[in-house]
């Protein structure tokens, strides 16, 4: 049986060593691995080596020193050595390497193709019993192949670096342990670092505040299972310890054999986007209040009229008889205070609804109560417009985690759109029709569902694909900002929910809010 050539691989990084073993196992060679110079010298004692691949930087004894020790007793036929390095090699290091037996350098991160190509060259030479010094033809052939390989390596590295820096988002490459091995220029800028050495070799969690570490672990776990995790909001800590809100995505990088090798983490700064969204949400809330002004006035005028009528009645009775019965006065005063409380509740709710809720802690709230609170602010306006509201709210629903005021904003946005669609249809057709909005809530598949259907103008198939986009509106100029549905989508997304829309220009529109029970 033909003896396989011995190939020595030395690297103090276990993950890098495993990667090299995986890539090179497809070659016809006996692979000898070692994590230190001492282990390598012990394993190769008395063996003939075809080639050695040695990491330059190792503790205690570096790659150059190991190469000298290996070849100091091999006077006639020295072992060819390929050095691994993660940094630029200067002229002195190149001379030191070739003086100790180097035939080439491979730069990290290691390309599978380049590594196999270079190692195959030397294994072929060994199997044919030809050494570079003994055969000038093979020397030239090897030199040509090495030049081609080096050129390919240079192109590969340039493409890799170009792709890394071309991304508008920051990119960080980490090994499976979370140690950063490479970063893009945008990532350096995002993290407030001046050069790559400030990040490379550091654990990614160093740039994450303690309260966000569980979130990062969740991203990594999902990436290992599914191969990718996308758009997870995480706070990132810069070099100067300031924080910014980011959207993090992660992709698993694997070897050709499907073995996990590293993670590519993409970081997008969304701080400004979040500020804009908050401003849009607040502006939309104010716009809703402006539209509801007449409705709120109706809501307040009704109890005021009741109070006025009760007072007139009391004064009328007092004019007839100074001795008004106590029970009569109590009944009338209760009526007055009941309507005063109603006015106070309306004003308090409008005040609470109108203020910013950026610091609001997500809590469990009742969907039906939130729907009813939203309706109280527009019910009189809708009655004045002859729009009928039909409620079918399922009782005893579990609480939903979120912001009840923001959810009211979603309901008000949908009601406002439904109102406009109904009035538009009324204006277009001569015949009078029953303008109606149906609101239904129910539980289905571990979700609370809220459906709102109107019999207005509906939505065309072309518009259905775009209505959730910011500033997209089907209304006439000056009648809509195009932000309402976009903001509603963002609010429902914050609650881990989704929005489905179905529309028909003949029959109306149905919005379905789907919220998971947590």
pLDDT band at 289; cut points 50, 70, 90: low
231 CB-near residues (< 8 Å, 6+ apart): 247, 248, 249
Query: How many whole angstroms separate alpha carbon 247 and alpha carbon 287?
Result: 29
What is the predicted pLDDT for the residue at 337?
78
Average the pLDDT over 254-281 and give the result: 76
Average the pLDDT over 173-191 and give the result: 85
Average the pLDDT over 126-153 and give the result: 55
DSSP state of 207: G
pLDDT band at 109; cut points 50, 70, 90: confident
pLDDT band at 142; cut points 50, 70, 90: low
Indicate the range of 216-225, 347-356, 382-391, 440-449 predicted with least confidence.
347-356
Tell me the CATH class for 6-163.
Answer: alpha beta
- Say whether pLDDT at 268 is over 50: yes
DSSP bridge pairs for 229: 250
What is the predicted pLDDT for the residue at 187?
81
Top pLDDT among 456 and 271 is at: 456
Provide the percentage of residues in the chain whose pLDDT is more than 90.
6
What tokens appear for 363 in the block? 């809590």
- Say whether pLDDT at 394 is over 60: yes
Comma-separated ranges of CATH 3.30.565.10 domains in the chain: 276-516
Indicate the range of 15-24, 151-160, 206-215 predicted with least confidence.
151-160
Indicate the average pLDDT of the chain. 77
487 CB-near residues (< 8 Å, 6+ apart): 277, 280, 281, 284, 409, 413
C-alpha 30, offset from chain centre: 45
What tokens appear for 469 in the block? 């986009």
Query: Nearest CA to 353 among 419, 401, 413, 277?
Result: 413
Average the pLDDT over 434-457 and give the result: 91
What is the predicted pLDDT for the residue at 436?
92
Query: Nearest CA to 161 among 123, 107, 201?
Result: 107
Taking 3-state DSSP, the helix, strand and coil percentages for the chain, each rounded to the nearest 5, stand at 50, 25, 30
The top-scoring range by mean pLDDT among 244-248, 379-383, 509-513 is: 509-513
CATH-assigned architecture of domain 276-516: 2-Layer Sandwich (3.30)
Query: Is the Cβ–Cβ distance between 339 and 332 less than 8 Å?
Result: no
| CATH fold for domain 167-269 | Beta-Lactamase (3.30.450)
What tokens appear for 451 in the block? 């459906």
State pLDDT tens for residues 59-71.
888 888 888 888 7
What tokens appear for 41 in the block? 């010298």
362 CB-near residues (< 8 Å, 6+ apart): 401, 402, 403
- Say whether pLDDT at 316 is over 80: no
What is the predicted pLDDT for the residue at 282?
60
- Say whether pLDDT at 47 is over 80: yes
What is the predicted pLDDT for the residue at 481?
44
- Say whether pLDDT at 438 is over 90: yes
Average the pLDDT over 33-46 and give the result: 88
What is the predicted pLDDT for the residue at 354?
56
Q: Report phi then psi at 434, rounded to 5.
A: -80, 105
Burial class (CB in 10 A: 0-12, 13-18, 19+), 327: exposed
Query: How many whole angstroms separate alpha carbon 471 and alpha carbon 301?
Result: 35
- Say whether pLDDT at 140 is over 60: no
pLDDT band at 380; cut points 50, 70, 90: confident
Query: Nearest CA to 122 among 101, 106, 146?
Result: 146
341 CB-near residues (< 8 Å, 6+ apart): none
What is the predicted pLDDT for the residue at 507?
80
Query: How many whole angstroms separate alpha carbon 236 and alpha carbon 163?
Result: 23
What is the predicted pLDDT for the residue at 283?
62
Query: Nearest CA to 514 among 438, 453, 414, 447?
Result: 447
pLDDT band at 152; cut points 50, 70, 90: low
Query: How many whole angstroms separate alpha carbon 280 and alpha carbon 483?
Result: 7
Top pLDDT among 127 and 358 is at: 127
Query: How many whole angstroms separate alpha carbon 272 and alpha carbon 280?
Result: 12
Query: How many whole angstroms separate alpha carbon 477 and alpha carbon 479?
Result: 6
Comma-separated ranges of CATH 3.30.450.20 domains in the chain: 167-269
pLDDT band at 133; cut points 50, 70, 90: very low
- Say whether pLDDT at 482 is over 60: no
What tokens appear for 344 in the block? 């106070």
Comma-separated ranges of CATH 3.40.50.2300 domains in the chain: 6-163
What tokens appear for 450 in the block? 């809220």
């Amino acid at each position: 049986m033909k003896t396989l050539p011995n190939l020595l691989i030395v690297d103090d990084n276990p993950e890098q060593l495993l990667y090299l073993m995986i890539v090179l196992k497809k070659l016809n060679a006996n692979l000898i691995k070692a994590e230190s110079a001492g282990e390598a010298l012990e394993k190769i004692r008395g063996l003939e080596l075809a080639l050695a691949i040695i990491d330059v930087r190792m503790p205690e004894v570096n790659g150059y020193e190991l190469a000298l020790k290996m070849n100091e007793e091999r006077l006639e036929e020295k072992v060819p050595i390929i050095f691994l390095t993660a940094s630029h090699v200067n002229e002195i290091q190149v001379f030191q390497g070739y003086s100790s037996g180097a035939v080439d350098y491979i730069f990290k991160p290691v390309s599978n193709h380049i590594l196999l190509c270079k190692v195959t060259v030397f294994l072929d030479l060994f199997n044919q019993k030809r050494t570079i010094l003994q055969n000038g033809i093979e020397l030239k052939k090897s030199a040509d192949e090495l030049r081609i390989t080096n050129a390919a390596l240079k192109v590969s590295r340039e493409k890799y670096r170009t792709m890394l820096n071309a991304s508008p988002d920051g990119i960080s490459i980490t090994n499976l342990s979370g140690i950063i091995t490479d970063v893009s220029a945008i990532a350096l800028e995002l993290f407030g670092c001046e050069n790559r050495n400030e990040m490379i070799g550091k654990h990614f969690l160093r740039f994450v505040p303690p309260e966000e570490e569980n979130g990062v672990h969740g991203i990594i776990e999902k990436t290992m299972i599914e191969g990718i995790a996308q758009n997870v909001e995480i706070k990132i800590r810069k070099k100067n310890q300031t924080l910014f809100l980011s959207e993090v995505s992660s992709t698993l990088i694997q070897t050709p054999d499907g073995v996990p090798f590293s993670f590519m983490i993409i970081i997008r700064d969304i701080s400004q986007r979040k500020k804009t969204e908050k401003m849009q949400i607040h502006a939309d809330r104010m716009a809703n209040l402006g539209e509801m002004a007449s409705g709120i006035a109706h809501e307040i005028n009704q109890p005021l009229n009741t109070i006025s009528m009760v007072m007139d009645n009391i004064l009328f009775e007092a004019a007839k008889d100074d001795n008004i019965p106590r029970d009569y006065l109590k009944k009338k005063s209760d009526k007055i205070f009941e309507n005063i409380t109603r006015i106070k509740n309306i004003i308090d709710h409008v005040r609470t609804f109108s203020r910013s809720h950026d610091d609001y802690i997500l809590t469990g709230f009742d969907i039906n109560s939130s729907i009813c609170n939203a309706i109280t602010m527009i019910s009189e306006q809708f009655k004045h417009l002859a729009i009928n509201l039909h409620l079918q709210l399922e009782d005893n629903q579990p609480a939903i985690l979120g912001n009840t005021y923001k959810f009211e904003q979603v309901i008000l946005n949908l009601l406002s759109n439904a109102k406009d669609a109904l009035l538009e249809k009324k204006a277009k057709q001569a015949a009078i029709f029953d303008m109606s909005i149906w609101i239904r809530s129910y539980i289905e598949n571990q979700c609370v569902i809220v459906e709102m259907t109107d019999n207005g103008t509906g939505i065309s198939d072309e518009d259905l694909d775009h209505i959730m986009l910011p500033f997209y509106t089907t209304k006439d100029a000056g009648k809509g900002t195009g932000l309402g549905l976009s903001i509603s989508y963002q609010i429902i997304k914050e609650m881990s929910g989704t929005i489905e829309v179905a529309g028909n220009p003949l029959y109306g529109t149905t919005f379905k809010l789907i919220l998971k029970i947590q």
